[in-house]
């Protein structure tokens, strides 16, 4: 009798999981998976050891933390000043651009729009302020005053300049003791994200409205990713521009990315 009810219970639970899997709210499915405790063997911390450049294993806590700090410092903060190597034509230097619109005071409507776009149920930054507590009139008014002051003064709170780096081991990483085998996911302040959304929206709109983006700058632009057909069309146009550009023997600028550090190799 007990086996019969056990099988019935298990079948019901499997059916519930399957229903949640095909529902529009995938969060409920993964929350249920967590309750089943399938992922008990998942590691919750990084090993207290690193492999030095000479191949030796370091286990001293202070040295291990210093190695992690130095590796990610070099990854996120390049000491090279590449701006001096980029040539600027006289034509681009002499062009006068009216940026009055960019320097207009932040409006309350911009803050409301950014707060509305902020995703909920996401990890917080160093200030532990989630997006949920900002989605009300009182918080929006306070945030509006803070962001307006930041924009006028050109300064931000110290907490907005700090992030919590959450290292996630890359797929197929050969050694867990090498810091750069981890992808550093940085958690920043949610109010800082809202401020960045406002600045990004304002700058993107200004660039589009004033036609300051060429066809080669196709990434992260509005109405450029409506459907697969349009994506294909944009890619063809991009390749045509590249071919035309190269055939004219023009000089070009290139950026080289360390793919081993970026991709989950």
Please write the tens of the pLDDT for every residue from 152-168.
999 999 999 999 988 98
Q: 53 Cβ partners below 8 Å, 6+ apart?
A: none
Please write the tens of the pLDDT for every residue from 205-257.
998 888 887 766 666 666 665 555 566 666 677 677 667 766 766 566 655 55
Once rounded to an integer, what is the mean pLDDT over residues 184-191?
Answer: 93
Residue of 81 and 130 predicted with greater confidence: 130
Residue of 84 and 154 predicted with greater confidence: 154
Residue of 88 and 62 predicted with greater confidence: 62
Confidence bin at 179 (pLDDT 50/70/90): very high
Q: Provide the CA 164 distance to its chain's centre, in angstroms.
A: 13
Alpha-carbon dihedral 104, 106, 109, 114, rounded to 10 degrees = 120
**pLDDT at residue 139, as a whole number:** 96
Reading the block at residue 90, the tokens are: 């006289």
Please write the tens of the pLDDT for every residue from 7-39.
788 788 878 877 877 777 767 777 777 766 555
pLDDT at 110 over 90: yes
Confidence bin at 265 (pLDDT 50/70/90): very low
């Amino acid at each position: 009798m007990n086996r019969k009810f056990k099988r019935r219970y298990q079948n019901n639970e499997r059916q519930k999981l399957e229903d949640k899997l095909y529902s529009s709210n995938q969060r409920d499915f993964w929350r249920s998976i967590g309750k089943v405790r399938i992922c008990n063997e998942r590691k919750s911390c990084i090993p207290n050891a690193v492999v030095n450049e000479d191949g030796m294993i370091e286990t001293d806590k202070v040295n291990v933390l210093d190695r992690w700090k130095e590796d990610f410092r070099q990854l996120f903060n390049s000491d090279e000043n590449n701006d001096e190597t980029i040539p600027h034509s006289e034509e681009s230097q002499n062009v006068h651009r009216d940026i009055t619109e960019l320097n207009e005071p932040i409006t309350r409507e911009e803050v409301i729009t950014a707060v509305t776009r902020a995703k909920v149920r996401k990890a917080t930054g160093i200030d532990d302020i989630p997006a949920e507590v900002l989605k009300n009139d009182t918080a929006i008014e306070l945030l509006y005053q803070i962001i307006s002051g930041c924009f006028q003064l050109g300064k931000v709170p110290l907490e907005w300049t700090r992030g919590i780096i959450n290292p996630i081991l890359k797929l197929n990483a050969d050694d867990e003791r090498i810091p750069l085998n981890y992808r550093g996911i940085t958690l920043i302040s949610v109010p800082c994200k809202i401020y960045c959304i406002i600045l990004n929206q304002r700058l993107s709109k200004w660039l589009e409205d004033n036609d300051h983006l060429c066809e080669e700058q196709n990434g992260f632009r509005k109405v450029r990713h409506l459907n697969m057909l349009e994506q294909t069309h944009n890619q063809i146009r991009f390749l045509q521009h590249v071919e035309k550009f190269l055939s004219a023997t023009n000089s070009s600028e290139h950026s080289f990315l360390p793919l081993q550090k970026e991709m989950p190799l």
